[in-house]
A and B are shown apart, each in its own frame.
Chain A
Amino acid sequence: MNHRPLREHPLVNLTLARMREFLREPEAVFWVYVFPLMLVVALGVAFRNRPVEAVRVVIQEGAAARSLAAALDRSPRFRAAVCDEAEGRRRLRTGRADLIVVTLANEPLRHEYVFDPTRTESVLARNAVDDFLQRSAGRRDVIEVQDRPMDEPGGRYIDFLVPGLLGMGLMGGGMWGVGFAIVDMRIRKLLKRYLATPMKRIHFLGAILLSRLIFTATEVVLLLVFARLFFGVVNLGSSLAVALLILLGALEFAGIGLLVASRARTIETVSGLMNLVMLPMWIASGIFFSTERFPEAAQPVLALLPLNPLVHALRSVMLEGASLGTLGGEVALIAAWGGLCFALGLRWFRWN
């Protein structure tokens, strides 16, 4: 522009100012860069894949209880204890036992299983113990089966988690880095002060976007490298596809951030709006657990949330090696959210 060195261009200067402000704020750096890594470590360790623990069985005091307990205890898969009825039920209720086996006097070939049908471990325990007891009693399996345990990257919780955290980072970045930042400048009357200069509005908004993209790139690379080095998380799809999805997602949430910031004149208003946007998606967008846990009827609505198609597309690429071509619906939805919010945000934007 007018033969001025790039260093003097307003877009460059506004972007530099945003970046300096951010990097000089230790709290912001912590929440954006360090916190997601801590989440990876905490959740990666808490939910690391480990062999299924021994099934805890209570044999209710009675006929042949002790010999049954001894038989179960000989297998490494079971840990058996003999208790009276009250104690056994207490253990089952509090999760310290998965199953109660009740033996019946005079009927050695009849047992009763007491278990909690809503608890996965309890149901598994019932089946495992039943299997064991039936075989010990002489049952013959008809089909010959062979177990081949799988522990490949791509199938673990940490592999599921990383794309979710990427999406969460993009959402948080857009809301804080664009939404909150703009309202903060409006409250400080800095927006008005800029407006009192010949600054072009497009430069101002462009700088916010540009700085956001630079921060996003750093954040994403840091998270992916960290997850790779410490947890062996790999991307089974193309890096370009991941990069494009992240760019698209960053722009989508920058647009939503802009819309949230367009009218707000107090920190309270913008904080409320940000929570309104982010809270449902923390839970219902499949960041930490699959959205399939929600009822069938809710699925079509959940699929329309801004973060859901992004997390889903990232997961499809990273975990299943899907190509962008097969994710047209998701990409279109992300673009639609971003475009709509940008348009409305710009239209309603309160400069003064």
Chain B
Amino acid sequence: MRRGGVAIRCVGLRKVYPGKPPVEAVRGVDLEVREGECFGVLGPNGAGKTTTIEILEGLMEPTSGDVEVLGMRWSQHARAIREQIGISLQETKFSDKLTVRETLTLFRSFYQSGLSPDEAIGRVSLEDKADVWIKNLSGGQKQRLAVATALIGDPALLFLDEPTTGLDPHSRRQLAGIIRECQRHGRTTLLTTHYMEEAERLCDRVAIVDRGQVIALGSPRELIARLGGEHVIEFSVESAEAAREPAESWRSLPSVTGCRFEDGGIHLTVAEPHVVLPALLELLRQRGWRLSSLVTRHASLDDVFVNLTGRAMERNE
């Protein structure tokens, strides 16, 4: 398709909110989202995700930088772009006393072409709520309605800002299913989230943003591989002396590629757990320390974030 299969391209994006002092929400972001992929923008709250996505959606002017969406520019082809994209904002309160079908009929009327309201309702499995007032929907159902309003114009490009924030696990799985279904239809999706494991499951590629800048870009698998080990061993020791043990002695264990201290425990990034574990237990035995807990798991994007920033992602679950 257009522009060699690039759905979104932005270069040198900056956004400064005026104020005293001015707030630099986005500080030079370059992104390229390919057609047909699901691209995730990840990062903690306040990292600049929403500002970035709203600039790409044409809802906000960047302070500087260049944005191209589906090969077009907001300044010249705003309406043409709007016809081809679908947007779910972080929080929209639709009219409480309209039904799901009425709301979708209204949104459908804004587009030249698109799905029928009932098709959109089917895509997000709200058939049995079609004639229910929005105020009587659960949080997850409202979020699915928001996604349905994004789908109603049958967009080539879908923007979802924090589509699963604040939802229960069941609703999150449902929404993940809807997003995967869109990918199967060859739609490009750009989503923001601060749930790392969700991004791992859904996204072909992710950009991790922190303090207004992209600090890592690639497929979840690549980013995790860059840690040097795909597994994490988390353990804690009863003795308080263990906390004074230098990181070097843990790092010198075979197959260990990283070490950090977190919440009174020790996290080791490792390539081969079966090689590390005997050596680790031997070291503890020599020091006379007893394990109080030990967990091994696959490394996640959370670990990537902590590794890059030295901070844990804030969670507001």
Q: Is B23 an interface residue (CB 8 A)?
A: no
Asked whether B97 lies within 8 Å of A21 as measured between CB atoms, the reply is yes
Q: How large is the interface on A (under 10, 10 to 19, 20 to 34, 35 or more residues)?
A: 20 to 34
Asked whether A25 lies within 8 Å of B92 as measured between CB atoms, the reply is no
Q: Is A9 an interface residue (CB 8 A)?
A: yes
Q: Which chain A positions have C-beta within 8 A of B87? A: 193, 196-197
Q: Is B95 an interface residue (CB 8 A)?
A: yes
Asked whether A197 lies within 8 Å of B59 as measured between CB atoms, the reply is no
Asked whether B98 lies within 8 Å of A21 as measured between CB atoms, the reply is yes
Task: Provide the bound-state CA to CA distance between A179 and B110, in Å.
Answer: 23
Q: Is B251 an interface residue (CB 8 A)?
A: no
Task: Provide the bound-state CA to CA distance between A188 and B98, in Å.
Answer: 14
Q: Is A14 an interface residue (CB 8 A)?
A: yes
Task: Provide the bound-state CA to CA distance between A302 and B51, in Å.
Answer: 48
Q: Is A54 an interface residue (CB 8 A)?
A: no
Do A193 and B89 contact each other (CB < 8 Å), given the known contacts A13-B106, A20-B102, A24-B97?
yes
Give the shortest distance, in Å, between B213 (CB) and chain A (any CB): 25
Give the shortest distance, in Å, between A183 (CB) and chain B (any CB): 13
Task: Provide the bound-state CA to CA distance between A17 and B104, in Å.
Answer: 11
Q: Is B94 an interface residue (CB 8 A)?
A: yes
Asked whether A199 lies within 8 Å of B110 as measured between CB atoms, the reply is yes
Q: Is A8 an interface residue (CB 8 A)?
A: yes
Task: Provide the bound-state CA to CA distance between A14 and B149, in Å.
Answer: 15
User: Beta-carbon contacts of B77-107 to A below 8 Å, as 1s and 0s?
Assistant: 0010011000101011111011000100111
B235-281, CB < 8 A from A: none
Q: Is A189 an interface residue (CB 8 A)?
A: yes
Asked whether A192 lies within 8 Å of B89 as measured between CB atoms, the reply is yes
Task: Provide the bound-state CA to CA distance between A72 and B225, in Å.
Answer: 112
Q: Is B57 an interface residue (CB 8 A)?
A: yes
Asked whether A193 lies within 8 Å of B92 as measured between CB atoms, the reply is yes
Give the shortest distance, in Å, between A77 (CB) and chain B (any CB): 60
Task: Provide the bound-state CA to CA distance between A20 and B102, in Å.
Answer: 10
Q: Is B109 an interface residue (CB 8 A)?
A: yes
Q: Is B60 an interface residue (CB 8 A)?
A: yes
Q: Which chain A positions have C-beta within 8 A of B111? A: 197-198
**Total chain B interface residues with beta-carbon distance under 8 A:** 28
Do A25 and B109 contact each other (CB < 8 Å), given the known contacts A188-B92, A193-B92?
no
Task: Provide the bound-state CA to CA distance between A197 and B150, in Å.
Answer: 9
Q: Which chain A positions have C-beta within 8 A of B106? A: 13-14, 16-17
Residue of A9, A12, A17 near B102 (CB, 8 A) is A17
Give the shortest distance, in Å, between A237 (CB) and chain B (any CB): 39
Q: Name B's interface SS.
A: loop
Give the shortest distance, in Å, between B143 (CB) and chain A (any CB): 13
Residue of B60, B82, B93, B102 near A197 (CB, 8 A) is B82
Q: Is B140 an interface residue (CB 8 A)?
A: no
Do A13 and B109 contact each other (CB < 8 Å), given the known contacts A20-B98, A21-B95, A195-B59?
yes
Q: Which chain A positions have C-beta within 8 A of B98? A: 17, 20-21
Q: Name A's interface SS.
A: helix
Q: Is A352 an interface residue (CB 8 A)?
A: yes
Do A17 and B95 contact each other (CB < 8 Å), given the known contacts A10-B109, A192-B59, A196-B57?
yes
Q: Is B212 an interface residue (CB 8 A)?
A: no
Q: Which chain B positions have C-beta within 8 A of A199? A: 110
Residue of B95, B105, B110 near A198 (CB, 8 A) is B110
Asked whether B110 lies within 8 Å of A197 as measured between CB atoms, the reply is yes
User: Beta-carbon contacts of B104-125 to A below 8 Å, as 1s and 0s?
Assistant: 0111111110000000000000
User: Beta-carbon contacts of B19-57 to A below 8 Å, as 1s and 0s?
Assistant: 000000000000000000000000000000000000001
Q: Is A38 an interface residue (CB 8 A)?
A: no
Asked whether B97 lies within 8 Å of A20 as measured between CB atoms, the reply is yes
Asked whether A190 lies within 8 Å of B110 as measured between CB atoms, the reply is no
Asked whether B95 lies within 8 Å of A190 as measured between CB atoms, the reply is yes
Q: Is A2 an interface residue (CB 8 A)?
A: yes
Residue of A14, A17, A24, A352 near B60 (CB, 8 A) is A352
Q: Is B163 an interface residue (CB 8 A)?
A: no
Residue of B60, B79, B92, B97 near A190 (CB, 8 A) is B92
User: Beta-carbon contacts of B274-305 to A below 8 Å, as 1s and 0s?
Assistant: 00000000000000000000000000000000
Q: Which chain A positions have C-beta within 8 A of B93? A: 188-190
User: Beta-carbon contacts of B146-160 to A below 8 Å, as 1s and 0s?
Assistant: 000100010000000
User: Beta-carbon contacts of A1-32 to B below 8 Å, as 1s and 0s?
Assistant: 01000001110111011001100110000000
Chain B contact residues, CB within 8 Å of chain A? 57-60, 79, 82-83, 87, 89, 91-95, 97-98, 102, 105-112, 133, 149, 153
19 cross-chain CB contacts under 8 A: A2-B112, A9-B109, A13-B105, A14-B109, A20-B97, A20-B98, A188-B92, A190-B94, A190-B95, A194-B110, A195-B59, A196-B82, A197-B82, A198-B79, A198-B82, A198-B83, A198-B110, A198-B111, A198-B153
